[in-house]
Chain A
Amino acid sequence: EAQVTQNPRYLITVTGKKLTVTCSQNMNHEYMSWYRQDPGLGLRQIYYSMNVEVTDKGDVPEGYKVSRKEKRNFPLILESPSPNQTSLYFCASSPRADTQYFGPGTRLTVL
């Protein structure tokens, strides 16, 4: 089944404790992206990647890192999480950059 998977689905952590949210797709898509979704603000792009080893900032990249060493994986790294990064995070992939297919989401709480 063609899908985008994210792990973990739920995470509660404390300020400053490094964490990684994994994202994997099995559709051989070149384009992958991370979004955060907050009430009243909608979906905002954090980082995107047009291909392996190619990443670029989206609208809200501060406090996040990404890497794209393999085509199928695009992990999101929070090196020192803060409470304002509490949010619902979505990974997406696309054969190009237009029609994007989203993962199930990761709900992150930073205390």
Chain B
Amino acid sequence: EDQVTQSPEALRLQEGESSSLNCSYTVSGLRGLFWYRQDPGKGPEFLFTLYSAGEEKEKERLKATLTKKESFLHITAPKPEDSATYLCAAYPGSQGNLIFGKGTKLSVKP
């Protein structure tokens, strides 16, 4: 069964304290791995798409990487405005739906 697991469930950082969020997937024929940011009560906001192992994408303090079994979202020197829930999703391609993980809730304290 296709599955996406994110860890940790919650992460508390001090401002400036770099860390990584993990997304492990078991998806046959992965066609894409996606990262979204979600603020409370709002719709997920698209961040990155990764298509093949070894690929990296960057945006401001965020960098996403992909291996054959997992993806990481690295956050460098985070700020309080980076506080949000980060969602990972896999697209198997064989069916018309994304498979979402349950998310990592990130809190960055000043």
Contact = CB atoms under 8 A, between A and B. Distances in A.
5 contacts: A31-B96, A58-B97, A97-B97, A97-B98, A98-B31
Interface in A19-56: 31, 33, 40-45, 48, 50, 56
Interface residues of B, number: 21
Interface of B: 31-32, 34, 36, 41-46, 49, 87, 89, 91, 96-98, 100-103
B97 A42 contact: no
Interface string A62-86: 0000000000000000000000000
Contact of B98 (A45, A88, A105): A45
A7 interface: no
Nearest to B49: A99
Contacts of A92: 43
